[in-house]
Amino acid sequence: MTEYDSPWKESISLYFREFLRFFYPLIEADIEWQRGFEFLDVELQKIKRESETGKREVDKLVKVWRKSGEEQWVFLHIEIQSQRRSDFQERIYIYHNRIFDRYRKSVVSVAVLGDEENGWRPNNYKRELWGCRALLEFPVVKLLDYDIDELAQNPNPLAAIVQAHRTAQIAKNDVGVGYANKLSLIKSLYERGYGREDIVQLFRLIDWFIALPKFEEDRLWQEIQTLEENKKMPYITSVERRGIEKGLQQGLQQGKQQDILQLLEIRFEDVAQELKQIIEKLDDIELLGKLFAQAVTTQSLEEFESVVSQNVTDGEERNVAESESEAEKEE
């Protein structure tokens, strides 16, 4: 299953300026980058908790300064999903207003749509009754609009990330197509003039977007080794590859753990430390996905805790049974 949320969160954190330069160049050109910028993840979580949308999304709140000297808060809402959502515009409107209510600062909301429905391009929210009108218009870009061949020629790291997202959508569950697309994309990294650090980071992000079975990953790695030997560019060592694989697994695991806990905190506010510790110890990606779905629909924390307890107990019993079976085979 393709994972979009985690690599997009990581991409914005790593390449925030490049993100704006790629999608919103007018905004990027108006920021005073010498003053730096600040991600306000903690502040955003407080706002989301108050909003109680109970939804999973990728978003960022960033404080920047304009070249005029004015402090500007940029609310980046990155919508990465395969189908439209009826509450999308309303959620941006709610977050936009919540940020302004809390900090009394100008807010700019932007959106990137990563779904596959060409006709869905929401860019405003409005309500009107008896002459009273509320309206928010926000700029939107659609990943479907980007040509993959043109992306391959673009040196901005975000072009490679968009290319990974699009090629993952095209491949879907076709391993052969996924392998060919991933290999082509990785090869293009060496042609775009990236330094070693960018290639390693982008390789890691592409691994997130386009996951392959282990046999195909090993075959891909052999191709990359041959490529690096021919180009005399030993960028990704065997040790780094193992680190990328381990980091990918840990990143997926931690990302899903955080999603569950954040959703529970948004819906129920107070989550017991004991429950947090149980969730943070779980390493079964499939089980974590199941528990996230449960966190969305559960009516109470007590109901959710009961489901967690049952699944953890079942898992422990399976582990014991597997251990005993292995011991019998050895005898």
The DSSP letter of residue 33 is G
Please give the pLDDT value at position 29: 95
Angle between helices 157-171 and 175-191 (to 10 degrees): 170
d(CA 229, CA 153): 23
d(CA 295, CA 35): 40
pLDDT over threshold 90, residue 211: no
Please give the pLDDT value at position 231: 64
Please give the pLDDT value at position 257: 80
Apex 204 CA angle, 251 and 84, nearest 5: 70
Q: Is-contact 76 50, C-beta < 8 A?
A: no
DSSP for 117-133 reads -TT----EEEEEETTEE
d(CA 210, CA 116): 17
Angle between helices 285-297 and 238-268 (to 10 degrees): 20
Q: Is-contact 65 35, C-beta < 8 A?
A: yes
> Comparing 132 with 204, which gets the higher pLDDT?
132
The mean pLDDT value for 283-301 works out to 79
Please give the pLDDT value at position 313: 66
Cα 155 from chain centre? 22
The mean pLDDT value for 290-297 works out to 80
The mean pLDDT value for 43-49 works out to 75
Backbone angles phi, psi at 183, to 5 degrees: -65, -45
Please give the pLDDT value at position 238: 45
72 beta partners: 64
Q: By three-state DSSP, how is residue 301 classified?
A: helix
The mean pLDDT value for 190-194 works out to 82
pLDDT over threshold 80, residue 310: yes
pLDDT tens per residue, range 85-133: 888 899 889 989 988 888 888 889 998 998 888 999 999 999 999 999 9
Pairing outcome for strands 58-65 and 38-39: antiparallel
Please give the pLDDT value at position 269: 73
Query: 236: pLDDT confidence band, cut at 50, 70 and 90?
Result: low
pLDDT over threshold 60, residue 319: no
pTM of the model: 0.69
Cα 147 from chain centre? 22
Q: Is-contact 133 127, C-beta < 8 A?
A: yes
DSSP for 137-188 reads E--EEEGGGS-HHHHTT--SHHHHHHHHHHHHHHHTT-HHHHHHHHHHHHHH
Integer-rounded Cα Rg, in Å, for the chain is 22
Please give the pLDDT value at position 239: 38
The mean pLDDT value for 147-174 works out to 90
pLDDT over threshold 60, residue 237: no
- By percentage, how much of the chain surpasses pLDDT 90? 22
Of the given ranges (17-31, 66-80, 113-127), which has the lowest mean pLDDT? Answer: 66-80
Sequence ranges of the domains in the chain = 1-145, 147-236, 254-330
Of the given ranges (38-47, 253-262, 271-280), which has the lowest mean pLDDT? Answer: 253-262
> Comparing 109 with 69, which gets the higher pLDDT?
109
